[in-house]
Amino acid sequence: MQIALAGIGKIAIDQHVPALSASEDWELAATVSRSGTVDGVDAFDSLDAMLEACPEIRVVSLCLPPVPRFEYAAKALAAGRHVMLEKPPGATLSECAELERMARARGLSIYATWHSREAQQVAAAKAWLADKTLKSLHITWREDVRRWHPGQDWIFEPGGLGVFDPGINALSILTEILPDAIHLREAVLSFPDNRQAPIAATLGFRHPGNAAVSCDFDFRQEGEQTWEIEAICAEGTLRLTHGGAQMFVDGAPAGEALTGLAGEYPRLYAKMAQLVRNGRIDMDLSPMRHVADAFLLGRRETVAPFHF
């Protein structure tokens, strides 16, 4: 199937383009960007121009920041194209619900992707936890915004999510591996004095079995980056490290260990191909609901200004 990729930035070049190039399901037939291009692929500087010129392209994958994404997705759906959304799927829950309504009304597929759910050991962790008695679960997700989003001021603007841009990855794993639904009980959000989105956050959740479930997110980590989940159960302890790529049970490695985002985006595109072929929709918004709850419920504190 032919696909167009809109938003040719770092994540598109690093992950989307290689995944599409290696896929037997997809042909990258066009790009949409004001600045970025991919060698050998037709490039357009507007979505409208691409949609008009390329009626044969059935699918549009959107890698834009979340705030402008709704307008692009709505145009693609109105033009009869299936849509794949980079995480988070939109700037608000309401616009995501509207996109799903539009897709259903037109018989189109739409996919809210959560790439961290496709990390190497997430499925194994979900299977291990399925019959365990959870006592506590803690997420430590600390990374350096200067390394991963150099100069990208939009991430600290309204709708940019701040530290929840990576934190939502952790929440996507959490909502995938836990057999029970949880909801936010308390939060503290740390806003730099000169920014509109938090640079750090701590979250506490209510678990139906009274397990202590908590998160520690921070965008100021220097040196080694930390993306870990530890679940202590009556039957043993599970640790996911490297963003879900490596798993340990009672301290012993379990399964094949990978690093980085290996395999995540190829699996996302394989699933999108299945959704399109089967006429299905996947718009799970549970990670985004937890973020929205944190902004609603969280106590705000002001911290030192942040500059790239």
**pLDDT value at residue 8:** 95
> Which residue from 6, 105, 141 is spatially nearest to 60, judged by alpha carbons?
6
**pLDDT value at residue 218:** 98
144-160 per-position pLDDT tens digit? 999 999 999 999 999 99
2/11 Cα distance (integer angstroms): 20
- Res 60 pLDDT > 80: yes
**Structural domains present in the chain:** 2-112 (3.40.50.720), 117-255+292-303 (3.30.360.10)
With 0.75 as the threshold, say if the pTM is over it. yes
291/72 Cα distance (integer angstroms): 23
Angle, CA 39 vertex, CA 20 and CA 31 arms, to 5°:
60
Write phi, then psi, for 168 (nearest 5 degrees).
Answer: -65, -25
- Res 259 pLDDT > 70: no
192-248 per-position pLDDT tens digit? 999 999 999 999 999 999 999 999 999 999 999 999 999 999 999 999 999 999 999
First to last CA, the chain: 40
271/218 Cα distance (integer angstroms): 31
31-51 per-position pLDDT tens digit? 999 989 999 999 999 999 999
Q: Which of 10, 87, 132, 135 is catalytic?
A: 87
- Res 100 pLDDT > 80: yes
- Report whether 129 contacts 231 (CB < 8 A): yes
Confidence of residue 261 (pLDDT cuts 50, 70, 90): low
109-128 per-position pLDDT tens digit? 999 999 999 999 999 999 99
**pLDDT value at residue 17:** 96
- Report whether 139 contacts 228 (CB < 8 A): yes
Write phi, then psi, for 222 (nearest 5 degrees).
Answer: -110, 160
103/78 Cα distance (integer angstroms): 9
The mean pLDDT value of the chain amounts to 96
107/190 Cα distance (integer angstroms): 42
User: DSSP string of 76-137?
Assistant: HHHTT-EEEEPSS--SSHHHHHHHHHHHHHHT--EEE--GGGGSTTHHHHHHHHTT--EEEE
Active site residue 132: no
72/58 Cα distance (integer angstroms): 15
